[in-house]
Amino acid sequence: MTTIKRMTRREALKNLGLLATGAFLLGSSNVLTSCSSDNGKKRIVFYFTGSGNSLYVAKHLSEKPLSIPQVLQGDQFEFEADEIGFVFPDYQGRAPSIVQEFAQKVKLKANYMFTVITYG
């Protein structure tokens, strides 16, 4: 009799993260690079990183990504752009507490918003 090994939620998320990372590294990142300086659109990317992985991704999406901890130390909490994005690591299926705090403090206005969550 054959038994089927079921995949845990953690394994599924890890595999999904690996698939997304692989697709990103193979060049599908062009999907998120629609806002370049030649078409007049503005993109703001906020990031939080522990190991540097999220910063690496954020730099591929914006020339000057903004660090969430540094923004929280400042006095500007209102941002407007054509695209606004967040890049941060997965912390046990949740956003890090500093990202949650940031999301509650800021006022954002954009036609398009996105999130990239890094894992591993």
Q: State the Cα angle at 32 between 19 and 35, rounded to 5°.
A: 170
pLDDT at 79 over 90: yes
pLDDT at res. 73: 95
β-sheet bridge partners, residue 80: 109
Quick one: pLDDT band at residue 76, thresholds 50, 70, 90?
Answer: very high
- Helix H, strand E, coil C: the string for 11-22 is HHHHHHHHHHHH
Which of the two residues, 4 and 89, has the higher pLDDT score? 89
Instruction: DSSP letter for 73, please.
Output: H
pLDDT in the model for residue 92: 86
DSSP 3-state helix, strand, coil percentages of the chain (rounded to 5)? 40, 25, 35
What's the pLDDT at 38? 47
Q: What is the residue extent of each domain of the chain?
A: 32-118
Tokens representing 58 are 């954020």
Token pair for 43: 């993109």
Please write the tens of the pLDDT for every residue from 21-66.
Answer: 555 555 544 444 544 444 678 999 999 998 899 999 999 999 999 9
Query: Which residue did the predictor score with more confidence, 10 or 44?
Result: 44
